[in-house]
Amino acid sequence: MSNDAWITTQEAVALLGVNKSTIKRRIDARLYVAHTIPGNGGAQYRIRLDSLPPDVQAQYYAARFRLDGGHSPDSERREPGETDNELWRRFEDASDKLKTRAERNLVAVLSWFDAVQAGVSRMTAYAEIQRDHGIGRMALNRWLKSVQGHPREHWLALLCPDYRIDNAKKAEWTPGAWEFYLSAAMTPGAKVRSAWARTRDKGDPLGWSIPSYDTAKRDFLRLREDVRTLLKSGGTALKALSPTQRRDYTSLSLHELWCLDGRKIDLMVRDDDGSLGVKGRVLRPYVLGIQEVRTRVILGYAISASLDADVVRQAFLSAMTRTNRVIPRGVLMDNGMENAAKEISGGAPWRRRGKVKEDEIIGLFPMLGVQITWAMTAHGQSKPIERASGTIKERTEPRPEFQGAYCGHKPEARPEEWDAKEAVPLSMFRKVLAEEVNAYHRAPHRGQGMEKRSPMQVYGDLNREGNIAARRLSGLDDRRFASLLR
């Protein structure tokens, strides 16, 4: 059994989070194994799955067999279109010799049904098929079972022999059998022998062709070990082990996408001006930042005693003020309650809110026509701003002037010199944070599409080129502008 899976360019784009031109460049650079097949509009790429990174392969299989939900392979039905597309895609990838055999098999199967409908006895029909098409009784029965219950238009693809099978091996998998077996074997915690036994039990009444356990085990083990490890560790582990989200930043225009992220800082701060509620109170405040994704520039941020709708509005006001009232095309938001508050996202679908109610208030972003995208649940790596937040955090919180105020992210991580009495004044923290954000903006960046330029250099270059995908809020005086965000 050959476990070599080939995917389309569209599937690779979805898995890798890059555009088609990037996929083509990587194929040309031989980073991915690929070949072309004839298709509508010209040649089309087929990319070998195991030439992609292990985590991408694992995500492909996880999505294909719905591992994240923890369902058994027969507890859900796949969408018919998905099965049919996969069937014909594999048929198109088959050799001309196999396609010719499929056509011969189809003629034989149709001749069988014509003979039976004409009243010819089954034994006579078997003999006629053997004589006219060279296909014996057992082989014909196998093809008849393979098309049983399937629409006529898919029979040709179903009758393509060994179209997913290594021709050097004698053992055959019926198409549905391999799909079922692989799904069962990849379920977290499943044993290969149990998966094989389940496949055999499932396939016996369906006439599936299933090899021996030893062959089935070898077929499964031909998948890369790291891919199998990722898959069998479960859907949550898959997300945690996958690298920071891939994105072709060069495909974005300036202000096409902003990203929000809020976090609790690891410093004890004394509210020396009362701006966080109670003057003189000692606390660990939150910082919520907004990043322009293409350039990695931190457009604005706000400091608050808690994460709520107010701090989102303050940070957005800060970003709009800095950009002279630019409104982005879209925002990628953390799925915390501060962003999901109706004052911020009312009128937009949300994972916990369900359908949008007709009488629901319209939040800030829907009111401004900003498209909302929710970050992946429990997966901070899906937010591009995470890297910048980490860099600024590392440069800010351990500074010498904050010695004694640094408390770590949990009690066990507190340094010996920590003392709440050493809490840093809020005014000093604001000053230091601004310094480090500015330093981050001036430093060369090695990220994709940055070419070792600083965030501010890239921002300036795109601004001068006019490569901007945003509109500007105009015709409002300062008072009305501020009231819009209250």
User: What are 368-422's pLDDT values in tens digits?
Assistant: 888 888 776 555 556 889 889 989 998 998 888 898 898 887 887 788 788 888 9
Contact present, 398 and 262 (Cβ < 8 Å):
no
* Model pLDDT, residue 244: 47
Least confidently predicted of 149-158, 268-277, 431-440: 149-158
Residue 471 has pLDDT above 70, yes or no: yes
Domain ranges of the chain: 54-241, 250-484
pLDDT tier, 40 (very low <50, low <70, confident <90, very high otherwise): low
Residue 482 has pLDDT above 80, yes or no: no
Contact present, 390 and 440 (Cβ < 8 Å):
no
User: What are 232-278's pLDDT values in tens digits?
Assistant: 655 555 555 454 445 678 888 899 999 999 999 999 999 999 999 99
Residue 197 has pLDDT above 70, yes or no: yes
Contact present, 285 and 416 (Cβ < 8 Å):
no
Cα 343 to Cα 97: distance, rounded to the nearest angstrom: 63
pLDDT tier, 424 (very low <50, low <70, confident <90, very high otherwise): very high
Nearest alpha-carbon partner for 186 in 176, 171, 172, 196: 196
| Pairing mode, strands 6-8 and 34-39 | unpaired
Residue 480 has pLDDT above 70, yes or no: no
* Model pLDDT, residue 81: 38
CATH 1.10.10.60 is the classification of domain 54-241: yes
CB-count exposure of residue 75 (10 Å: 0-12, 13-18, 19+): exposed
Cα 405 to Cα 421: distance, rounded to the nearest angstrom: 8
Q: What Cα–Cα distance (Å) separates residue 185 from each residue in 65, 162, 290?
A: 10, 21, 43
Q: Tell the residue number behind the tokens 């501060």, with chain if given.
A: 338
- List Cβ<8 Å contacts ≥24 apart for 57-61: 57/224, 57/227, 58/227, 58/230, 58/231, 58/238, 58/242, 59/15, 59/238, 59/242, 60/5, 60/7, 60/11, 60/15, 61/182, 61/186, 61/227, 61/231
* Model pLDDT, residue 223: 74
* Model pLDDT, residue 337: 82
Cα 380 to Cα 388: distance, rounded to the nearest angstrom: 13
Over its C-alpha atoms, the chain yields an Rg (Å, rounded) of 30
CATH for 250-484 is 3.30.420.10
Cα 273 to Cα 281: distance, rounded to the nearest angstrom: 10
CB-count exposure of residue 83 (10 Å: 0-12, 13-18, 19+): middle
Locate 3 and state its tokens: 């476990």
For residue 282, the SS3 value is strand
Residue 49 has pLDDT above 90, yes or no: no
pTM of the model: 0.54
Degrees, nearest 5: CA angle 404-408-411 = 100
* Model pLDDT, residue 230: 61
Nearest alpha-carbon partner for 258 in 158, 364, 171, 176: 364
User: What are 293-347's pLDDT values in tens digits?
Assistant: 999 999 999 999 999 999 999 999 999 999 988 999 999 987 778 887 888 888 7
Q: Is the model more confident about 401 or about 485?
A: 401
Residue 131 has pLDDT above 90, yes or no: no
Degrees, nearest 5: CA angle 220-221-225 = 120
What is the DSSP-derived secondary structure letter of residue 46? Answer: E
Q: Is the model more confident about 67 or about 110?
A: 110
The per-residue pLDDT of the chain, averaged, comes to 79
Element (DSSP H or E) covering residue 419? none
Contact present, 165 and 95 (Cβ < 8 Å):
no
Residues 6+ apart with CB under 8 A from 221: 228
pLDDT tier, 73 (very low <50, low <70, confident <90, very high otherwise): very low
For residue 269, the SS3 value is strand
User: Residue 215, Cα to own-chain centre: how many angstroms?
Assistant: 33
Residue 27 has pLDDT above 60, yes or no: yes
Locate 467 and state its tokens: 């490569």
**Dihedral Cα 256, 262, 268, 270, nearest 10 deg:** 70
Locate 420 and state its tokens: 């709440």
* Model pLDDT, residue 187: 73
* Model pLDDT, residue 63: 64
Q: Do domains 54-241 and 250-484 have the same CATH topology?
A: no
Locate 414 and state its tokens: 């507190």
Q: Is the model more confident about 198 or about 222?
A: 198
Q: Tell the residue number behind the tokens 């949300």, with chain if given.
A: 350
Least confidently predicted of 49-53, 61-65, 144-148, 385-389: 61-65
Single-letter residue type at 63? A
User: What are 279-296's pLDDT values in tens digits?
Assistant: 999 999 999 999 999 999
356-370, 376-390, 419-433, range with greatest mean pLDDT: 419-433
Residue 42 pairs in a beta bridge with: 39
